[in-house]
Amino acid sequence: MKIFQKCADFTIVNEIKEKGIYPYFHKLESRQNVEVIMEGKRRIMLGSNNYLGLTVHPEVMEAALKAIEKYGTGCSGSRFLNGTLDMHLQLEEELAEFVGKEAACTFPSGFQTNLGIISSIVGRHDYILSDRENHASIYDGCRLSFGETIRYKHDDMEDLERCLARLPLDAGKLIITDGVFSMSGDICNLPKIVELAKKYDAAVMVDDAHGFGVLGNGGRGTADHFGLTDETDIIMSTFSKSLASLGGFMAADKYIIEYVRHNSRPFIFAASIPPASCAAALAALRVIKKNPDLVSRLSDLALYMRNGLKERGIPVKESIYTTPIIPFYTYDIETTLIKAKEIYEAGVYLNPVLPPAAPAGQCLLRISLMATHTYELLDEAMDIIHSVINK
């Protein structure tokens, strides 16, 4: 049938598999931790977004188990109807307090959070100003909205101002940026974004999926890192990274949250976060609040790894700030896949980044760290990476 012709023409996967360098869907046979068993072999995990290592924290696992015992395995309905647990409300209250906003609203996934926020907030005759390297969920949220999307060059504040200056002064405008960009590890220029937002009467939304638990006082995120929480209108993040669970949330002024709760189709028509996931996120949040040293340790490990790779001749991407995302370029697709496979077979899992996640000719291998890594493990991993890259 014609509708499936595109599927028949999609042969690139089989071609890569035939070459033996297909990098996806490796089978994990253990907990998500600093060391894993993947396809029957021990690997040092340098490709997880489990930034604080809380997926195996005893308090987080115990909370999930107790939630199943108390509430069962699912809520069988949307938050809008029968699916709101007392625990959902407690999680929202503590998240809002932690990031410094009046209120918060949770969604079943981080991807769905961006769909739900953007599609409900941005209406006809409104404009979105979006960084070109924003996450795919932001791109799709923009497509779901009825507003016009303008993409400015990555982290280019002059281009952002040119875009803003062309828009009607009285139009609704929302500037959206990742806090920490997931592939490069770059941090957005939030001070300049806020400055331009004030100048052109725009609102600011930060996707802090990779900044929450990583930046700011005790992991409060990118806005806190710059002291701009009050000037950042919407803060969004996910539970699948530092909060060791599944779901997402937005935090903002209460009237904005109430509007989204009653107008966001991805919120209204989706089942609520299951009890175990909600409990795990809540427990992880409380662990972070009790242990702010986890955030500083993650930063120390990232600096150690970055310096160690440089000393071994690995050309890591330079960054003004130290984040747990450390990429280094391998440029073309086939070289990237070959090196990723060789590193994997030598005992280290990391992520190959290919177009469209990276520009053509700028493919890279992406390392992401956990606060629970040890210096000994990182040394072992860096020696393996060095032996493969410089072979």
Catalytic residue check, 210:
yes
Choosing from 241, 242, 245, 339, which is the catalytic residue?
241
Q: Are 104 and 257 in contact (CB under 8 A)?
A: yes
The pLDDT confidence band at residue 14, using thresholds 50, 70 and 90, is very high
Q: Is the pLDDT of residue 322 over 90?
A: no
Span 66-91, pLDDT tens digits: 999 999 999 999 999 999 999 999 99
Residue in this structure with the two tokens 């986890």, named with its chain if needed:
294
Does the reported pTM lie above 0.85?
A: yes
Quote the CATH superfamily of domain 2-51+292-389: Aspartate Aminotransferase, domain 1 (3.90.1150.10)
Q: Which of 1.10.1740.10, 3.40.920.10, 3.90.1150.10, 3.40.640.10 would CATH assign to domain 58-290?
A: 3.40.640.10
pLDDT score, position 11: 95
Residue 63 above 90 pLDDT?
A: yes
Q: pLDDT-based confidence at 319, cuts 50/70/90?
A: confident
Q: Residue 356 — pLDDT band, cuts 50, 70, 90?
A: confident
Mean pLDDT of all residues in the chain? Answer: 96
Which pLDDT score, from 0 to 100, does residue 59 have? 98
pLDDT (average), residues 40-69: 98
Catalytic residue among 145, 182, 245, 368: 182
pLDDT at 157: 98
Q: Which residues make Cβ contacts (< 8 Å) with residue 94, sequence separation at least 6?
A: 282, 285, 286
- For residues 152 and 100, give the distance between their C-alpha atoms in angstroms, rounded to a whole number: 28
241 included as an active-site residue:
yes
* pLDDT greater than 80 at residue 306: yes
Cα–Cα distance measured from residue 332 to residue 179, given in angstroms and rounded to the nearest whole number: 27
Query: Mean pLDDT, to the nearest integer, of 119-126?
Result: 97
Q: For residue 206, give the nearest of 126, 129, 124 by alpha carbon.
A: 129
Residue 220: what pLDDT?
98
Give residue 391's pLDDT: 79
Could you tell me the pLDDT band of residue 209, with boundaries at 50, 70 and 90? very high
Compute the average pLDDT of residues 248-256. 98
| Active-site choice (57, 135, 173, 210) | 210
Segment among 95-99, 249-253, 321-325, 337-341 with least mean pLDDT: 321-325
Contact assessment for residue 69 and residue 260, using Cβ atoms and an 8 Å cutoff: no
Picking from 63, 99, 121, the residue whose alpha carbon sits closest to that of residue 267 is 121
Domain ranges of the chain: 2-51+292-389, 58-290
* Residue 198 pLDDT exceeds 80: yes
For residues 177-193, give the mean pLDDT: 95
pLDDT at residue number 320: 77
